[in-house]
Amino acid sequence: MTAPITLGADTTFSATASGRFHFSGDLSGPGGLTRTSSSSTLVLSATNTYTGDTIITAGTLQIGNDIAPIATSRNLRLLGAGNGVVTGTIADGPPGTVLVSIAKADAGTWSLNGPVAHTGSIAVSAGTLLINGPVSAASAVTVAASATLGGKAAASMRRRPLPAITRRAMPPPARRRLPRA
């Protein structure tokens, strides 16, 4: 789809078919984007200036441009018991607009396969988060005692003095009910 789309409220993308769904038009507006289907790849290749959170519960999200806030702060939340992949750069936006957090919850395994260059936190409260791209700016990394942080970048993160990786018992994340497809 090449036409721009305004997200007036939080919007859920759930495809029942397998394949690749490519949005090359800008996603804008005050809403967030939730990705729920596991059998397809969602490609976002425009600037994507929407200001809500990005929530992924399954499948693959491929980012053509940075997943970065433009006008306000937002979060990337990786949820669900399934496995998923995020490719592309995860970064802060212009000055004053940070990607507040990357939060991994639930039992699934998620892989971040592109550069992670945001100053917010990375929190793994359950399941496994594999970071395979370079991590250059995260301010804090917290891993719950029952969760796993791994991937190619995890070893280099442990050797650096910053960010500090804290392993502790974490309270369960606040959960938002997703609409049924």
Per cent of the chain over pLDDT 90 is 10
What size, in residues, is the chain?
A: 181
Does an H or E element contain 157, and which?
Answer: helix 152-159
Minimum mean pLDDT range among 10-24, 129-143, 159-173: 159-173
- What are the boundaries of each domain within the chain? 5-168
Residue 129's pLDDT is what? Answer: 93
Task: Determine the Cα–Cα distance for residues 153 and 113; give it in Å rounded to an integer.
Answer: 10
Query: How many helices and strands, by DSSP H and E, does the chain display?
Result: 1, 19
Report the predicted TM-score, pTM, of the whole model to 2 decimal places: 0.72
Residues 178/7/62/113 CA torsion (nearest 10 deg): -70
pLDDT in tens, 66-77: 565 555 667 888
* pLDDT over threshold 80, residue 157: no
Query: Which has the higher per-residue pLDDT, 38 or 121?
Result: 121
Q: Which long-range contacts (CB under 8 A, 24 or more apart) does 96-99 make?
A: 97/68, 97/69, 97/70, 97/71, 97/72, 97/73, 98/69, 98/73, 99/67, 99/68, 99/69, 99/73, 99/74, 99/75
Quick: pLDDT tens for 103-155. 899 888 989 888 888 878 889 999 999 999 888 766 688 899 999 999 987 66
